Amino acid sequence: DAGVIQSPRHEVTEMGQEVTLRCKPISGHDYLFWYRQTMMRGLELLIYFNNNVPIDDSGMPEDRFSAKMPNASFSTLKIQPSEPRDSAVYFCASSLFGLVDTQYFGPGTRLTVL
Amino acid sequence: SQQGEEDPQALSIQEGENATMNCSYKTSINNLQWYRQNSGRGLVHLILIRSNEREKHSGRLRVTLDTSKKSSSLLITASRAADTASYFCATDEIQGAQKLVFGQGTRLTINP
């Protein structure tokens, strides 16, 4: 298995632009997580899905953030409009058995909003 | 609020020495996990220890868990340059919102 795949690996955009991050989880994993990592706040869980259904989005910072999982092999995290404070590394992770099971992380997308 | 907190924040040792990192947490847990993150990469799971276990080994890694003190330690023996990375503990909470909460990590540097 190729592991969790994320794209793009790097994204540089200007304030106000829409940003879409993409994730392909490991095949067969029923849980998908989106995290954000910054120096100040560390690793934060934004939202997670179980069987393509969003379960807990309490970590999503604002309405500017939205996430979808149209099928078992694809998820997106969208920021619209983007702001400089959204600059961070965004990770997607998946797990087989549950929320607190071993999680497998993708390589991350480094987002810079100018 | 921070669940797992690693100590020290940074550690620098010579290759071949042992490295010990600690993690403290606040609430009762079901299990505790350790992850490694190389610079510019995603986190990689190292080991999971359940609340009813006291010690676990995996290769050069040794993890202990003391639920009475709400603390865990990760020992890397005979360190190598490739062990240079950040190490995170992650805990779940028995009560409250069920999710994995990561600490701020220990930055480990192995000097050749």
The answer, for B39 touching chain A at a CB cutoff of 8 Å, is no
Pick from A56-60, A83-87, B58-62: least confident: A56-60
| pLDDT tens sequence across B87-99 | 999 998 766 667 7
Label the pairing between strands A10-13 and A109-113. Answer: parallel
How much of chain A exceeds pLDDT 70, in percent? 99
Contacts of residue A16, Cβ cutoff 8 Å, sequence gap at least 6: A81, A82
* Residue A64 C-alpha from the chain's centroid: 14
Peptide bond into A81 cis (omega under 30): yes
For A91, which residue in chain B has the nearest alpha carbon?
Answer: B42
Interface check A93 vs B, CB under 8 A: yes
Residue with tokens 């190292």: B46
Please identify among residues 64-93 of chain B the ones whose CB lies closer than 8 Å to any CB of chain A.
88, 92
pLDDT for A29-62, tens place per residue?
999 999 999 988 889 999 999 999 999 898 998 8
